[in-house]
Chain A
Amino acid sequence: MKNMEDARKAYDTITAPEELEKKLDAAFLQGRVKRRRRQIQKKIAQSCMCCFMLVCMSFVVLVNTNAVFADTVSSVPILGSLAKVCTFVEYKEEDESAYIQVRIPEVKDTGNTELEKKINEQIREGMEKVLNEAKEEARSNWDAYLKTGGDPAEYVPMEVALDYEVKSNEEGRLSFVIWISRVRANYYREYTYYNYDLETGKEITLKDLLGSSWREQAYDSIISQMKEREKEEGESLYFRLDSGEYALTELPEHPDFYINDAGKPVIVFEKYEIGYGYIGEQEFEIPLSNA
């Protein structure tokens, strides 16, 4: 006897493999993460509730710092513009606490493999450190959330992105910035700069570029540029003391900087560091002295 009821019985004997449980677990996790991400995107679109937390790490790599040597070398196509910054690894990972996107660069074709290796190792170490910090923070946020009785379903994972940008690659000098951003409902920001001399493997300071009076020289240049910008805008942009002087009375001992296409150092101040939030990051190109 064949009828629909019997066919249904045949149908009902089909049972799901045990693996389906695991596949569903994965689907629920992934579904929640994707849903959170959509909600985050919506929120960002709707308002500025989320702050971007930036930990900026900048590597300014100088193939050489000796001006005379640079002149000589720039005509020899071994060093200099041949040096490349390539993406070494690119990956995404996610769990319930964080969604992470990473692009780590590596320096290639500098003509000096030993130093290349050293610099790339340093880049990777630095990246690993900030990434692990971000992951730990994401994890501890998640743990704390659970411990305080938070509903896992409502948790918004931290979004972490690590990327880089080449600032300049001229005349044997290679300058690029690596940054990590974290999106959470609180605010945190930190810059770390590394400067290397590819010839000696030593760290480089602004002094190497601007001479012994770099601090005064750069400060004067920055102050005059600040005045110019305020004049252009027709309003006060930077923090001032009661006396009317700028709150920036001297440069920090190790200012953040990169080197631009013109081979000049560009000193960077993060948001809120010297002026009102709406002006954002402030960059000042410092003219080179003849020193």
Chain B
Amino acid sequence: MVINEKRTSCAERELEAFIREHQDDFYRLAFSYVKNADEAMDVIQEAAIKAFVHLSSLRDTQNMKAWFYRILVNECLTWLRKSKRLYVVPGEFFEGIQNGEHTEKFDENLDLYKAILRLDAKLKTVVLLRFFEGMKLEEIASVTNTRLSTVKTRLYRALRELKSVLEEEISA
């Protein structure tokens, strides 16, 4: 039992370090769902607590990334279900972005980003994880707890929906 405890507390430290290291990534992702700084932080907080509580369910800390993203994405989706705030409120949206210097380029890029935010939550998850978090399709399948074929279908559908905004060809 002692060895087991040691091992789990080691996992706790690892989890803590992992969350701290990637907190900006988590924030961006959470923000893309909830579109509000306070709510995004609350969602991350809730996800972090859940991660601690269910840490024993993570057998191998090698899988921590996919495991934590799954908790976080689920937390975001739960938040969406509860709040039913499914579309962007522009004012709120800009308030949440903590970058003071909005360049023209940024605003232009924002069109696509905003279009992504308007996607259905399931499609959005795939796009965010694939293009912004740089995950492989296999990893996304693991995070969303779906089959690889489902991920591919969703990605394809998402890109089709974004096509009008996307002027250039994109490589998946």
Q: Which of A1-43 contact B (CB under 8 A)?
A: 1-4, 6-17, 19-21, 23-24, 26-28, 30-32, 34-35, 38
Stretch at the interface among B4-12, B60-68, B83-91, B142-150: B4-12
Answer yes or no: A190 CB below 8 A from chain B CBs: no
Partner of B166, one of A2, A28, A38: A2
Residues of A within 8 A of B170 (CB): 3-4
Partner of A153, one of B13, B106, B109: B13
A151–B12 Cα gap in the complex (Å)? 11
Residues of A within 8 A of B23 (CB): 16, 20-21, 24
**When each residue 44-76 of chain B gets 1 if its CB lies under 8 Å from chain A and 0 otherwise, what string results?**
111011111101000000000000000000000
Least distance between B166 CB and chain A CB atoms (Å) = 6
Question: Which residue of chain A is the closest to B16 with respect to CB atoms?
Answer: A28
Q: Are B48 and A14 in contact (CB under 8 A)?
A: no
Q: Are A6 and B44 in contact (CB under 8 A)?
A: no
Residues of B within 8 A of A151 (CB): 9
- DSSP majority for the B interface? helix
Residues of B within 8 A of A32 (CB): 12, 52
Residues of B within 8 A of A10 (CB): 106, 109-110, 112-113
Answer yes or no: A154 CB below 8 A from chain B CBs: yes
Q: Are B166 and A31 in contact (CB under 8 A)?
A: no
Q: Are A31 and B168 in contact (CB under 8 A)?
A: no
Partner of B98, one of A1, A7, A11, A15: A15
Q: Which of B103-134 contact A (CB under 8 A)?
A: 105-106, 108-113, 116, 131-132
Answer yes or no: B151 CB below 8 A from chain A CBs: no
Question: Which residue of chain B is the closest to A153 with respect to CB atoms?
Answer: B9
**Interface size for chain B: under 10, 10 to 19, 20 to 34, or 35 or more residues?**
35 or more
A19–B23 Cα gap in the complex (Å)? 11
Partner of B109, one of A6, A31, A154: A6
A28–B23 Cα gap in the complex (Å)? 13
Q: Are A19 and B132 in contact (CB under 8 A)?
A: no
Least distance between A183 CB and chain B CB atoms (Å) = 17
Q: Which of B6-30 contact A (CB under 8 A)?
A: 6, 9, 12-13, 16, 19-20, 23-24, 26-28
Q: Are A11 and B28 in contact (CB under 8 A)?
A: yes
Q: Are A31 and B9 in contact (CB under 8 A)?
A: no
Least distance between A228 CB and chain B CB atoms (Å) = 44
Residues of B within 8 A of A34 (CB): 49, 52-53
Question: Which residue of chain B is the closest to A30 with respect to CB atoms?
Answer: B49
Least distance between A109 CB and chain B CB atoms (Å) = 43
Residues of A within 8 A of B52 (CB): 27-28, 30-32, 34-35
Question: Which residue of chain B is the closest to A14 with respect to CB atoms?
Answer: B28
Q: Which of A126-184 contact B (CB under 8 A)?
A: 151, 153-154
Residues of A within 8 A of B19 (CB): 24, 28
Q: Are B51 and A31 in contact (CB under 8 A)?
A: yes
Least distance between B158 CB and chain A CB atoms (Å) = 11
A7–B107 Cα gap in the complex (Å)? 10
27 A-B Cβ contacts within 8 A? Answer: A2-B165, A2-B168, A3-B112, A7-B116, A7-B131, A10-B112, A10-B113, A11-B28, A13-B97, A14-B27, A14-B97, A15-B24, A15-B27, A15-B99, A17-B37, A17-B98, A24-B20, A24-B23, A30-B52, A31-B48, A31-B50, A34-B49, A34-B53, A35-B53, A153-B12, A153-B13, A154-B5
Q: A34-B49, A154-B6 are in contact. List 11 more A-B contacts (CB 8 A).
A: A2-B168, A3-B112, A6-B109, A13-B97, A16-B23, A23-B41, A27-B45, A31-B52, A34-B52, A34-B53, A35-B52
Footprint of A on B, CB under 8 Å?
Answer: 5-6, 9, 12-13, 16, 19-20, 23-24, 26-28, 31-32, 37, 41-42, 44-46, 48-53, 55, 96-99, 105-106, 108-113, 116, 131-132, 165-168, 170
The 10 closest A-B pairs by CB, nearest first: A31-B52, A16-B27, A10-B109, A27-B48, A7-B112, A153-B9, A6-B109, A31-B49, A27-B45, A13-B99
